[in-house]
A and B are shown apart, each in its own frame.
Chain A
């Protein structure tokens, strides 16, 4: 394998790994940036997305959990992946809206620490509800037919079609959210609210509804992240807490509230992780991720693309 091939392979795999981080981080970042709400339950939305995706896509045989003891050993709709990809964001959007209304709103005026505590508790509750009903065993979403097998790419040769699909799906969705926030009237109101909520309200614009939508959109992205990583990684009740920490790192490395920042940081983290794995330092890959994050935060506390104003 020539050096060029190796580098491009690392970049592509890093792009795919990074795409998951970006999907998670963009939602987390705009919620933190606009609503000033710290959502430790963001990983739980990813978890819910993954399980919804699993049950919509295929029929699963459960070996433990309440559903299995009640006699529902085979659950799922078996509607295929495309349906999951459409339905999951909608459902998780609704969950996100409900979360904003019933969890976030009562906590907007309480200290950051209370927000972290309540969402952390909520994450535990969601994880345990899922474990209770469907059991703790690991599942996997089967790759859809149209996206299995390799695809021929220049330079690297064969590349798994599914990994490429993840990159494309993430790029399209994140692009849409970017357009929504940066180039629409809705986005203008949201961004204005971020800078000076009181002034926006004085102008007679209601902020509560845009905030609902922002939370919903952020949640939906986390749900999609759960679905698209289902065919690559295990689906079990622990994945939410596992993904939460890298997602937060991506947000703070990129700069809170900055979509471009989340994209850059996500791709950076993904590439570093994959590069360490593929060059024979797999044992150090996670450590490298956190060391990189710590370094960035200490050298540039506001994040790579964050502005000085945002520093709390």
Chain B
């Protein structure tokens, strides 16, 4: 897949004849990397309008969806593209959330610095956890990451309670205005106030677009293609002369960096870090989101995060079926795994290809 730079006027590939209609032009547009960014940006802008008016949504939930979406997009680089299932990513999400919270309370309250601190911590930690866990493959990798994750949870529960505030969660988060001027909890000044969502949503939205663009860039680069080669056949990749272990570690660190950004944003959004954010069920949540949305796709995990949180926050408030939201979620997840391994996004793609007349 060639990656033309962000030249929106580039001509369509030669083999696409002129005048083959909308489908051809759409597929030419779709193949360009810049269009991913455009589509994502438009999506972020339109989403709160649709979500709030048609689906009973509200800005705070839309923000939360994007935050978990960033987490899941990064997780999919590891699970979907490299083929490694980690059950310990809560340690990067929760770890970053705690560091972000502590950093905001005692060093600087600037949101960008807070994110940088949280993400930096997640990356450092992932190098350690990753290089230890990747000594084993398959289920052992899952169990080792689970082990390190749980170790962090129990460390935060009591031995480190003086830092984390133990079971009550970290409450003294103090987030200041962006660059010292822009308060994330106030409406934007002037004409910007007309934008959909609210300031915090747009801030998270910008980072979400950046995250998707970064993931897309990584996955379409020669480096990212090696990830897929490892997923398809690790031994063959090794025979070609690739240092498989290093690529796997890098995939692990990249996914942890996404988790770090998301975890820090979670602290900024909620002004609070619950102890649960380190428990292994949080790792399970991101696994469910990613697999539900569709492993090995760029937008699938975003969709999965959205569906998961929609069921958790909106369906749970509905009459009759509300109390069973978690059960519904589990059942839907099992059905998707058994019947549609490509997830919801796989279904969307199949429908799209059928509409386009078997273009791909």
Contacts and interface: CB of A to CB of B under 8 A. Distances in A.
A245 B327 contact: no
B338 interface: yes
Interface in B322-336: 323-324, 326-327, 329-331, 333-334
Interface residues of A, number: 39
A121 interface: yes
Q: 8 closest Cβ contacts across the A-B interface?
A: A124-B330, A283-B158, A286-B154, A290-B151, A128-B327, A125-B330, A121-B334, A121-B333
Interface in A95-142: 106, 111-114, 116-118, 120-122, 124-125, 127-129, 131-132
Interface of B: 79, 83, 85, 87, 132, 135-140, 142-144, 146-148, 150-151, 154-155, 157-159, 161, 280-281, 284, 287-288, 291, 323-324, 326-327, 329-331, 333-334, 337-338, 341
A249 B154 contact: no
Interface stretch (A70-78, A170-178, A292-300): A292-300
A287 interface: yes
A293 B137 CA distance: 17
B147 A290 contact: yes
Contact of A294 (B147, B284, B334): B147
Pick the most buried of A113, A127, A311: most chain B CB atoms within 10 A of its CB.
Answer: A113
B138 A112 contact: yes
B334 A249 contact: no
Contact of B330 (A112, A113, A128): A128
A205 interface: no
A301 B144 CA distance: 10
Contact of B140 (A118, A120, A297): A297
Contacts of B154: 286-287, 290
A312 B341 contact: no
A117 B139 contact: no
B144 A125 contact: no
Contacts of B333: 117, 121, 124
A257 B218 CA distance: 40
A120 B150 CA distance: 17
Contacts of A62: none
A120 B83 contact: no
A270 B43 CA distance: 52
A278 B139 CA distance: 34
A120 B287 contact: yes
B150 A252 contact: no
A241 interface: yes
Given A287-B159, A293-B147, A312-B140, 6 more contacts: A124-B326, A241-B281, A245-B146, A290-B150, A290-B151, A298-B132
A113 B79 contact: yes
**Which residue, A118, A287, A311, has most C-beta atoms of chain B within 10 A?**
A287
